[in-house]
Amino acid sequence: MKNVIVDTGRKRYPIYIKAGASDATGSLAAEITGITKALLITDDNVDRMYSRRIIDSLEGEGFSLSKCVILNGEGSKNIENYIKILTALSKNKISRNDTVFALGGGMVGDIAGFAAATYLRGIRFVQIPTTLLAMVDSSAGGKTAINFDSGKNQIGAFFQPDLVICDPDFISSLPDEIFRDGCAEVIKYGVIADGRLFKMLKGPAMRQMEGIIERCLMIKSRLVYEDEFDLGRRQLLNFGHTFGHAIEKCSNYSVTHGKAVAVGMVMAAAAAEVLGICSSDCYRDIKEMVSAFGLPCKTDIAEGELFDAMFSDKKRSLKEITLVLPEEIGRCILKKIPVAELGSFVRFAMKDKEMTSAYRSCFS
């Protein structure tokens, strides 16, 4: 079994990666949380497919389980479902020694993690991601949140899980679209920190899935170790996300996270090329890789709308916004853009090939 350790200095926990690992959820969890009462949180789709198998494993080990099911989709990551989960925790008399299990994609992990972080000021929490996106990104690193009127993930907490179980078997039954969403995050890791991973993606990705997930999580674990609270280097993980979150918000979350991040990565690369930060080859490689996975490279959302949505993004400070821009495949930089220049920046990023070097002078 592949095993990546996340160590924040305050907390250390394992991520197990192996096909079939979820069948051993009960024994893997028992070693870490002890045998406790537990609430399994999942969505209706995942519930139909996988809950039984996880419940059998947990109950077989002696866990005493209740279940809370919410509707699938990012729209469910809201305050109403947060209250629904808290109510289930409270009704089932879950105590501080008990455990929350999140079984599902990023939406389930985020909202379940936020409930685990805040109920009784924090209880044990195990992530069992069922999508590629959740395996390589959202299930590890401790970002938990719900969406709010002002944007995505606006109410949340840093709360590290006690254990993450990644079972790549889940991936083979994913609808193509959801699989591709995860591929956007994998491409991201290649661009920010691992040129070799980027090359691996040119081969048959499914056959190397455990290795790909492990490489992504090793990068994530290193960045979380260096910067748990996202004040510096961890922001590299936001490559494509500042534009991406704005696209998600403007589309009322009908554009999925992975697709929005895919467009965001191409936009960031386009802007980096205009600014002379990366070469046109680098921009082209990123765009081609995004297209090769059937992900979009462009959005038809208007510049002004996108700008407003970026401005409400929680990552902004009053005067500037930090964007992640590629220098080459495998290396990105954090660049602070004054808010006054953000409008032009969004324009450059959206102009695609129409951009000319004349724009560069604006940022010299």
**Does residue 161 belong to the site contacting ligand GLY (CB under 6 A)?**
no
CB of 111 to ligand GLY, least distance (A): 15
Nearest Cα neighbor of 114 from 54, 169, 70, 50 is 70
**Does residue 230 belong to the site contacting ligand GLY (CB under 6 A)?**
yes
Among 21, 237, 290, 321, the residue binding ligand GLY under the rule CB under 6 A is 237
**Does residue 106 belong to the site contacting ligand GLY (CB under 6 A)?**
no
Find where tokens 């991406």 sit.
244
SS3 53: helix
**Does residue 137 belong to the site contacting ligand GLY (CB under 6 A)?**
yes
Between CA 82 and CA 80 the distance in angstroms is 5
Which is closer to ligand GLY, CB of 58 or CB of 146?
146
Nearest residue to ligand GLY, scored by beta-carbon proximity: 237
CB of 270 to ligand GLY, least distance (A): 22
CB of 217 to ligand GLY, least distance (A): 11
Radius of gyration of the chain (CA): 20
Among 152, 180, 234, 335, the residue binding ligand GLY under the rule CB under 6 A is 234
Residue 239 in contact with residue 37, Cβ under 8 Å? Answer: no
Which is closer to ligand GLY, CB of 39 or CB of 164?
164
Among 141, 240, 326, 330, the residue binding ligand GLY under the rule CB under 6 A is 141
Residue 97 in contact with residue 36, Cβ under 8 Å? Answer: yes
Which is closer to ligand GLY, CB of 115 or CB of 237?
237
Between CA 162 and CA 14 the distance in angstroms is 8
Between CA 257 and CA 130 the distance in angstroms is 15
Pairing of strands 163-166, 12-17: parallel
CB of 335 to ligand GLY, least distance (A): 17
Residue 30 in contact with residue 61, Cβ under 8 Å? Answer: yes
**Does residue 215 belong to the site contacting ligand GLY (CB under 6 A)?**
no
